[in-house]
Copies of this chain bind each other. A is one copy, B any other.
Amino acid sequence: MTLEVKNLQCIRGDRELFTDLSFQLEAKQLLMLEGKNGSGKTTLLRALCGLYEPDVGEILWHGKSIKKQDELYRRELFYLGHLNAIKPDLTVFENLRFNTQLAGGLETDDALMQALDAIGLFAFEDFPASQLSQGQKRRVALARLLLTKATLWVLDEPFVALDAAAVVLLQSIIADHVDKGGMVILTTHQEVSLIKGEVKRLSLTALTENRESLNA
């Protein structure tokens, strides 16, 4: 089980975000993507999911290009971006149910309720999502982490809007997943510490700055 990135290059508009980016991620590894605002973290994550087509380079899952496996790869992938994918007109419970079922999950209603309780939304299950606070909305989106069977988690600034208690909770959820043999790629401007598992770091700013100093 490996994710392999080979010679990736992404250009947005006139700006080259990164060139010749290669790395490899194995089970039980967590990759922390670092970089200044606008360095291309989100772009890279979207490319890894297949939502953005890189200009050059390949992304391989189990040694095979992700473009060629399509649904197979997506079954093992969990992506959460800046947007929560929460419908304001549905209740918290309905939101979670729809999102897990969409990803192919067959959880019972009880399991869903438990996940919501665990993430700290006890008694909010029947609230319309429009009536939640910012952090509560993020929690609804994160509740899916407790239910998904995906191996590869791709999380774009998951800690945003969460309070201290929720940050600790989420850290333990992530650590747990890595521990059990999963893989996680995440970006964050806050420091995260894991107890077990291997933490890799990749800094996009460094890449860009190297290039800039080379050009200059």
Could you list which residues of chain A lie within 8 angstroms of chain B, going by C-beta atoms?
A: 12-13, 35-38, 41-42, 82, 120, 124, 127, 131-136, 138-139, 157, 160-167, 189-190
When chains A and B are docked, how far (Å) is the Cα of A139 from the Cα of B12? 19
15 pairs from A and B in contact (CB 8 Å cutoff): A13-B127, A13-B131, A37-B120, A37-B133, A37-B136, A37-B138, A37-B139, A37-B161, A38-B133, A42-B134, A135-B189, A157-B161, A160-B160, A161-B189, A163-B189
* Min C-beta distance of A186 to chain B, whole Å: 14
Main secondary structure of the interface of A (DSSP, over half): loop
With A134-B42, A161-B37, A162-B37 as known contacts, state yes or no: A167 contacts B139, CB within 8 Å: no
Contact of A189 among B42, B82, B124, B162 (CB under 8 A): B162
Closest to A135 in B: B37
